[in-house]
Amino acid sequence: MSTIVAPSLLAADFLNLERDIEMLNRSEADWIHLDIMDGVFVPNISFGFPVINLLKKATQKPLDVHLMIVQPVKFIDEIAAAGAAYMNVHLEACVHLHRVVQEIRNKGMKPAVTLNPHTPVTLLEEILPDLEMVLLMSVNPGFGGQQFIEGTVRKVAQLKEMILKQHTSTLIEVDGGVNLETGRKLVDAGADVLVAGSYVFNSEDPAETIRMLRAL
């Protein structure tokens, strides 16, 4: 089975968004990863509903929405209405994570929980059976183009072990500093989904880069 690849739109050319989405549509990209930032949970602001709501008209690819915002629970209805397949919420942003996860599922989306680099995977032990996916951040969230944090490979292996032990079918996604070299290590450790922003969009042939990442 090939690795699932979710290019991050954050690294696209926003003045030529339609062109870049068409490139993704023609490519082997499995999903499109959308990074939503509020300037509070992370020190940056990206894009919001005016952009997200247009995307489902422009692509058939499943939307993987990564919310880097405080109280993501407030926006579950809007994210569902925008047609998201996966809704990723940060564990660090949810006091009542179990309730948030159930609400995401009740709205017809697949719940995923994201962990910052410093957050141990063991904190997910109780909630793992309720999750479709865990997203491990391999950079501090907020910006594209940062350097990969090597310790993530060990976290992937540890999470994989938890998943096998609990017999769940949770996917492991990794986001930040992913390229062919770091991607190789992540897939070997048990990652199922790779998010890649700058590595895809800054490459000479983004569609070919996506194809190579899928082949890992």
For ligand DX5, the binding residues (CB under 6 A) are 8, 10-11, 33, 35, 66, 139, 141-146, 175-178, 195-199
CB of 195 to Zn ion, least distance (A): 6
What b/e string do you get for 172-202 counting C-beta neighbours within 10 Å, with b at 16 or more? Answer: bbbbbbbbeebbebbbebbbbbbbbbbbbbe
Is residue 130 part of the annotated active site? The answer reads: no
Of 111 and 197, CB closest to ligand DX5: 197
Q: Indicate the SS3 state at residue 111.
A: strand
CB of 13 to Zn ion, least distance (A): 18
111 interacts with, out of ligand DX5, Zn ion, none, CB within 5 to 8 A per kind: none
Residue nearest to ligand DX5 (CB): 197
Site for Zn ion in 155-214 (CB under 5 A): 175
**Is 66 an interacting residue with respect to Zn ion (CB under 5 A)?**
yes
Of 31 and 199, CB closest to ligand DX5: 199
How many C-alpha atoms does 179 have within 13 Å on its Cβ side? 14
Of 6 and 189, CB closest to Zn ion: 6
**In angstroms, rounded to a whole number, what is the distance separating the alpha carbons of residues 73 and 93?**
9
Phi-psi region of 88 (alpha: psi -120 to 50; beta: other; left: phi over 0): beta
**In angstroms, rounded to a whole number, what is the distance separating the alpha carbons of residues 6 and 210?**
9
Catalytic annotation, pick one of 20, 30, 35, 192? 35
Residue nearest to Zn ion (CB): 66
12 interacts with, out of ligand DX5, Zn ion, none, CB within 5 to 8 A per kind: none
Contact indicator for 3, 192 with CB cutoff of 8 Å: yes
Contact indicator for 152, 138 with CB cutoff of 8 Å: yes
Is residue 13 part of the annotated active site? The answer reads: no
Instruction: Give catalytic residue positions.
Output: 35, 175
